[in-house]
Amino acid sequence: MFASLKDTDTSRMAVILDTGAVSRGSGEKRDREKEIRKKFIEQDFIETVILFPDNLFYNAAAPGIIMSLRKQKSKERKGKILLINASREFQKGKPKNYLGEENIKKIVDAYHNFKEIEKFSKIITIEEAREEDYNISPSRFIPLIDEEQYRPISEIKSDLEKLEEERKKVEERVGKILEKI
């Protein structure tokens, strides 16, 4: 399919793939997959990777991706890959989830405008893809969970001491109630 693309900046292709196509790379078959991905990245053919939610595609409960490819990227997109983590952009449905109008608009806006949106899309360079061993999974670059907030140990220790005092008081009250019975 890719070989049939013309060498123009308007010629593009999109393919739906398993999420492993942008991240796998251990074992003989997976190493070959990684080598293909590496060549596409190094030759600057991958324009966009969009990660979709679980249970969206028929015959598959797992999430999937759409990879957009171009032989000739526009000047402002050269050496860059747009990653979109749309794994939370869905409406719950039965039997399958689906993309609502707002979900579609958000994805299309990021894609067409090739822009970063916090916790949704990120533009990476070929060098960044190299640094991640050619793993270009959007979830690797766009985590959806907030960073954990750690409390100071002294604060935790103080809370535990208060809870221990409270536990002792409750235990005493329960003991007195049991004596009356």
pLDDT tier at 69, thresholds 50, 70, 90:
very high
Looking at 6-10, 124-128, 137-141, which range is the least confident one? 6-10
pLDDT at position 25 is 64
pLDDT at position 131 is 94
Q: Are residues 98 and 160 in the same domain?
A: no
Domain that holds residue 131: 2-141
Per the structure, the count of domains in the chain is: 2
pLDDT at position 61 is 79
Find all residues with CB under 8 Å of 41, minimum gap 6, and list them.
Answer: 81, 126, 129, 130, 134, 136
Gap between the Cα atoms of 132 and 138, Å rounded: 12
Q: Are residues 163 and 126 in the same domain?
A: no
Task: Quote the pTM value.
Answer: 0.73
The predicted model gives 112-132 an average pLDDT of 94
Q: Are residues 166 and 81 in the same domain?
A: no
Length of the chain: 181
Q: Are residues 132 and 79 in the same domain?
A: yes
> What Rg value do the Cα atoms of the chain yield, rounded?
25
Q: Are residues 93 and 156 in the same domain?
A: no
Residue 9, pLDDT above cutoff 80: no
pLDDT at position 146 is 58
Q: Are residues 34 and 121 in the same domain?
A: yes
